[in-house]
């Protein structure tokens, strides 16, 4: 029955297949742009349509090769065949529309498509040729393998090209459609080799003639060679980044590509973003249209960098950029604004839901874990959305989207937030603080106060901690809690930190001129961790004010140290090399601090206030402090208790052997002159009586700051 086949029907089948594949590109693109609520309905409709197409192609192929099948038809089996065809459509459409295409998912869906393809054929055969054939095992396995290969190829192709909107998109689609159609035809030829006919005398006979086999090989060869050719020539060109880049070419007028693209992620950079934003705003003004600006910030990206290193951080950014790029629609635009910040411009936002759909897709894009260099990394992102022109002009729009993004972070991250009246108010407040902080830096409204540390046993002065204060023109003296976070957020913290360091060195130098050997503790901020030149910078400032290394100790909060372990260790070795001492501030808040301490080369730990407040009241708190002090001593570390507020606490801490004490009980933080006065008084008392007196600290209560 395979002795003849109709080449004209085969050609028609090839053309019909190519047409169906071409139409499938449209289905995939439509699904890609669909909002989540419409997605499943559309998926069902499109799967049915693809199923119908495949059914028709198979029907034609059956006709082309097997004329004698056409005598009787079983509608039941035809229906089953149609069901399997729909299943092929579903697996290809759904998988191609996923945000990521991990290998296992590709293989599973390829298998589903291949086996369903085999199912179509088997049920077609049953429908047309009941009991006149038997299924041969080896050819079946071969046919299924070819079918799976074609399934995988079509999934990859649709996945790659779903958002491809370049100038040659129709030719590219047509080309791939023909390729997949050849694949389908070869699959069908391979299927035909799976049936052996059972003749009237009950003996099996080889049903294939040599021209048929030649034809199968020719088709498979053409298919394999064309596929290999495409993979080699187009692979690089078809990754989603490039796809979107083709889009952007028309919208950015930057001549040098380096000026407009971020070299790491290949997304447009801030320059290009600003240009595009201006053009898009002009377009909106002209047409009376709206657009949305979405500020996207990765949550917890820094710990990734710190834990796995910058190389992994970079690779993660590249993958994140790819996923974001796939998550947006063709009418949208995405750029990397710097660091872990991305900005999307969403066009065609006639309905609120269309923004929500895209923004949600952006958030979902990073939900699936990343596998980078053997590490499984889970992150999320927070998105702030502002709408042009509703939420203000371009400048205001950026601030608004940024403020909305911060609100999303504040609300618990991994979510989006639209700019609204509440944020407007908070954002105005932040803008006010920003301006005031800038003024404060320029007008030098900052000042340092110093809180003495005392040696527990002898009451001798052990130095002081430098604490930053802002002499606000209308609000008076402000402690860091009111402004450090804002300073970090607006990027002023480096300037403030540098000022603190210089001022501390100046004070040590001044103390020296006043006959005082002063050693100061300086708090380091989170940002300073990342500054590779930190130690060099510290050394240069120390040199200017002739401060010896033993007069400075740098406090790093335990929380920052634990969240940035790798960076912290690197930093510690640099400090050690420069003979600079490091103290772990607010120690004891994390359960694993004790074991962690073993591996660190620090000089001091500062027990958190929460321990101090309990030592006089609870035996358990005292026991913990006792244990920590013993362990720290075993590791050769000095232990300082901060937040000492009463005589009872002082006495309790004394029993533990804690080396130094600091707290309101002795003195609140005071300006430099008052600190010097305390030292003079202590020294005078000492030269007179041979001992230091706590009352010399206490007496100075009158000088203490009111904050």
What is the C-alpha to C-alpha distance for residues 337 and 557, in angstroms, rounded to an integer?
Answer: 30
**Which of ligand C2E, Mg ion, none does 490 bind, CB closer than 5 to 8 A by kind?**
none
Using the minimum distance from each CB to ligand C2E, give the nearer residue, 365 or 641. 641
* Contact (Cβ atoms closer than 8 angstroms) between residue 381 and residue 389: no
* Contact (Cβ atoms closer than 8 angstroms) between residue 545 and residue 509: yes
> Residue 617 CB, nearest distance to ligand C2E (Å)?
15
Among 84, 582, 643, 700, binds ligand C2E (CB under 6 A): 643
| Tokens (6 digits) for 670 | 């005071």
What is the C-alpha to C-alpha distance for residues 63 and 354, in angstroms, rounded to an integer?
Answer: 46
**Per DSSP, which regions of 308-374 are E strands?**
333-338, 341-346, 370-372
Q: How far is CA 428 from the centre of its chain?
A: 28
What is the C-alpha to C-alpha distance for residues 65 and 5, in angstroms, rounded to an integer?
Answer: 5
> Residue 570 CB, nearest distance to ligand C2E (Å)?
19
Which one of the spans 359-367, 417-425, 550-558, 651-659 is the region binding Mg ion (CB under 5 A)? Answer: 550-558
Among 642, 656, 661, 696, binds ligand C2E (CB under 6 A): 642
Q: Residue count at the site for Mg ion (CB under 5 A)?
A: 4
Which one of the spans 179-187, 249-257, 435-443, 480-488 is the region binding ligand C2E (CB under 6 A)? Answer: 480-488
- Residue 500 in contact with ligand C2E, rule: CB under 6 A: yes
Among 89, 151, 268, 669, binds ligand C2E (CB under 6 A): 669
> Residue 693 CB, nearest distance to Mg ion (Å)?
26
Among 382, 507, 523, 551, binds ligand C2E (CB under 6 A): 523
Among 192, 523, 528, 567, binds Mg ion (CB under 5 A): 523
- Residue 586 in contact with Mg ion, rule: CB under 5 A: yes
Using the minimum distance from each CB to Mg ion, give the nearer residue, 93 or 520. 520
* Contact (Cβ atoms closer than 8 angstroms) between residue 186 and residue 226: no
Instruction: Identify the DSSP state of 670.
Output: B
Site string for ligand C2E, 67-96 (x = CB under 6 A): ------------------------------
Alpha-carbon torsion, ordered 409, 411, 416, 422, to 10 deg: -100
**Which of ligand C2E, Mg ion, none does 479 bind, CB closer than 5 to 8 A by kind?**
ligand C2E
DSSP reduced 3-state for 343: strand
User: What is the DSSP track for 568-630?
Assistant: HHHHHHHHHHTT-EEEEEEETSSTTHHHHHHT---SEEEE-HHHHHHHTT-HHHHHHHHHHHH
- Residue 468 in contact with ligand C2E, rule: CB under 6 A: yes
Active-site residue identified among 332, 340, 585, 659: 340
* Contact (Cβ atoms closer than 8 angstroms) between residue 325 and residue 241: yes
- Residue 660 in contact with Mg ion, rule: CB under 5 A: no
- Residue 664 in contact with ligand C2E, rule: CB under 6 A: yes
* Contact (Cβ atoms closer than 8 angstroms) between residue 403 and residue 382: no
135-154 positions binding ligand C2E, by CB under 6 A: none
Instruction: Identify the DSSP state of 452.
Output: E
- Residue 604 in contact with ligand C2E, rule: CB under 6 A: no
> Residue 312 CB, nearest distance to ligand C2E (Å)?
28
Estimate the crossing angle of helix 493-513 against helix 672-689, to 10 degrees: 30
Closest CA to 190 of 212, 222, 207, 157: 212
- By CB atoms closer than 10 A (0-12, 13-18, 19+), residue 673 is exposed
Collect all residues with Cβ–Cβ distance below 8 Å to 120 and sequence separation of at least 6: 54, 55, 58, 81, 84, 85, 88
- Residue 555 in contact with ligand C2E, rule: CB under 6 A: yes
- Residue 322 in contact with Mg ion, rule: CB under 5 A: no
What is the C-alpha to C-alpha distance for residues 333 and 54, in angstroms, rounded to an integer?
Answer: 35
- Residue 558 in contact with Mg ion, rule: CB under 5 A: no
CA distances from residue 682 to 21, 527, 685, 688 in whole angstroms, order as listed: 90, 37, 5, 10
Which one of the spans 261-269, 288-296, 584-592, 621-629 is the region binding Mg ion (CB under 5 A)? Answer: 584-592
State the residue for tokens 């059972």. 198
> Residue 607 CB, nearest distance to Mg ion (Å)?
9
Among 103, 421, 481, 634, binds ligand C2E (CB under 6 A): 481
Using the minimum distance from each CB to ligand C2E, give the nearer residue, 271 or 479. 479
> Residue 691 CB, nearest distance to ligand C2E (Å)?
24
CB-side neighbour CA atoms (13 Å) of 210: 0
- Residue 332 in contact with ligand C2E, rule: CB under 6 A: no
> Residue 158 CB, nearest distance to ligand C2E (Å)?
52
**Which of Mg ion, ligand C2E, none does 669 bind, CB closer than 5 to 8 A by kind?**
ligand C2E
> Residue 440 CB, nearest distance to ligand C2E (Å)?
14
> Residue 514 CB, nearest distance to ligand C2E (Å)?
22
432-461 positions binding ligand C2E, by CB under 6 A: 451
340 is an active site residue: yes
- Residue 585 in contact with Mg ion, rule: CB under 5 A: yes
Using the minimum distance from each CB to ligand C2E, give the nearer residue, 232 or 481. 481
- Cα angle 195-201-202, degrees, rounded to a multiple of 5: 45
**Which of Mg ion, ligand C2E, none does 4 bind, CB closer than 5 to 8 A by kind?**
none
- Residue 571 in contact with ligand C2E, rule: CB under 6 A: no
- Residue 479 in contact with ligand C2E, rule: CB under 6 A: yes
> Residue 365 CB, nearest distance to ligand C2E (Å)?
35
Among 297, 555, 558, 604, binds Mg ion (CB under 5 A): 555
Q: Which residues pair with 28 in a beta bridge?
A: none
Estimate the crossing angle of helix 137-161 against helix 169-192, to 10 degrees: 170
- Residue 700 in contact with ligand C2E, rule: CB under 6 A: no
Conformation bin of residue 546: beta by default, left when phi > 0, alpha when psi is -120 to 50: left
Using the minimum distance from each CB to Mg ion, give the nearer residue, 176 or 446. 446
What is the C-alpha to C-alpha distance for residues 588 and 585, in angstroms, rounded to an integer?
Answer: 9
Q: Residue count at the site for ligand C2E (CB under 6 A)?
A: 23
Estimate the crossing angle of helix 394-410 against helix 270-287, to 10 degrees: 110
Closest CA to 245 of 320, 308, 167: 167
User: What is the contact surface with Mg ion in residues (CB under 5 A)?
Assistant: 523, 555, 585-586
Catalytic residues: 340
Residues near ligand C2E (CB under 6 A) are: 451, 467-468, 479-481, 484, 497, 500, 523, 525, 555, 557, 585-586, 609, 642-645, 663-664, 669
């Amino acid at each position: 029955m395979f002795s003849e086949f109709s080449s004209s029907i085969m050609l028609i089948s090839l053309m019909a297949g190519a047409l169906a594949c071409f139409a499938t590109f449209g289905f995939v693109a439509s699904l890609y742009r669909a909002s989540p609520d419409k997605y499943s309905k559309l998926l069902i409709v499109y799967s049915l349509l693809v199923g119908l197409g495949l059914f028709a192609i198979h029907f034609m192929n059956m006709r082309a090769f097997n004329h004698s099948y056409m005598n009787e038809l079983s509608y039941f089996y035809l229906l089953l065949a149609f069901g399997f065809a729909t299943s092929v459509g579903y697996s290809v459409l759904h998988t191609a529309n996923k945000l990521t295409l991990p290998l296992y998912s590709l293989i599973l869906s390829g298998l589903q498509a291949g086996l369903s393809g085999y199912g179509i054929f088997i049920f077609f055969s049953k429908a047309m040729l009941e009991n006149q054939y038997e299924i041969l095992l080896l050819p079946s396995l071969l046919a299924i393998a070819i079918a799976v290969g074609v399934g995988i190829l079509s999934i990859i192709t649709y996945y790659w090209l779903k958002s491809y909107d370049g100038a040659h998109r129709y030719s590219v689609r047509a080309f791939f459609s023909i390729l997949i159609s050849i694949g389908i035809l070869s699959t069908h030829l391979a299927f035909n080799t799976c049936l052996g006919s059972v003749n009237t005398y009950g003996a099996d006979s080889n049903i294939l003639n040599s021209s048929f086999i030649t034809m199968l090989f020719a088709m498979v060869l053409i298919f394999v060679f064309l596929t290999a050719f495409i993979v080699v020539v187009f692979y690089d060109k078809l990754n989603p980044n490039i796809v979107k880049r083709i889009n952007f070419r028309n919208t950015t007028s930057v001549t040098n590509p380096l000026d407009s693209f971020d070299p790491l992620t290949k997304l447009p950079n801030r320059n290009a973003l600003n240009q595009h934003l201006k053009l898009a705003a002009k377009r909106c003004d002209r047409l009376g249209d709206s657009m949305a600006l979405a500020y996207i910030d990765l949550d917890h990206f820094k710990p990734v960098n710190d834990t796995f290193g910058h190389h992994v951080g970079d690779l993660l950014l590249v993958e994140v950029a790819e996923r974001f790029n796939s998550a947006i629609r063709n009418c949208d635009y995405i750029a990397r604004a710097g660091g872990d910040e991305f900005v999307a411009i969403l066009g065609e936002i006639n309905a609120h839901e269309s923004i929500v759909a895209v923004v949600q897709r952006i958030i979902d894009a990073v939900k699936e874990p990343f596998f980078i260099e053997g590490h499984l990394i889970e992150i999320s992102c927070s998105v702030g959305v502002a709408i042009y022109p509703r939420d203000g002009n371009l400048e205001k729009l950026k601030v608004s989207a940024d403020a909305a993004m911060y609100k999303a972070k504040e609300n618990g991250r991994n979510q989006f937030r639209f700019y609204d009246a509440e944020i407007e108010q908070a954002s105005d407040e932040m803008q006010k603080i920003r301006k005031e902080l800038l003024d404060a830096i320029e007008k030098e409204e900052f000042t340092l106060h110093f809180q003495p540390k005392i040696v527990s046993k002898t009451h001798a002065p052990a130095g002081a901690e430098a604490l930053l204060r802002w002499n606000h023109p209308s609000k008076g003296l402000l402690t860091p809690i009111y402004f450090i976070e804002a300073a970090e957020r607006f990027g002023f913290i480096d300037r403030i930190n540098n000022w603190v360091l210089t001022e501390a060195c100046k004070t040590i130098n001044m103390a020296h001129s006043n006959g005082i050997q002063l050693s100061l503790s300086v708090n380091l901020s989170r940002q300073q961790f990342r500054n590779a030149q930190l130690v060099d910078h510290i050394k240069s400032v120390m040199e200017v004010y002739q401060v010896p290394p033993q007069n400075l100790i740098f406090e790093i909060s335990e929380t920052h140290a634990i969240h940035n372990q790798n960076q912290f260790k690197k930093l510690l070795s640099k400090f050690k090399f420069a003979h600079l001492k490091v103290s772990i501030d607010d120690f004891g808040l994390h359960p694993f601090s004790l074991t962690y301490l073993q591996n660190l080369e620090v000089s001091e730990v500062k027990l958190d206030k929460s321990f101090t407040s309990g030592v006089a009241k609870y035996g358990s708190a005292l026991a913990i402090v006792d244990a920590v002090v013993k362990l720290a001593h075993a590791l050769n570390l000095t232990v300082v208790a901060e937040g000492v507020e009463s005589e009872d606490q002082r006495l309790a801490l004394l029993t533990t052997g804690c080396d130094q004490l600091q707290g309101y009980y002795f003195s609140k933080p005071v300006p430099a002159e008052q600190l010097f006065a305390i030292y003079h008084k202590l020294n005078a008392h000492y030269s007179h009586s041979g001992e230091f007196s706590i009352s010399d600290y206490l007496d100075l209560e009158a000088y203490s700051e009111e904050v």
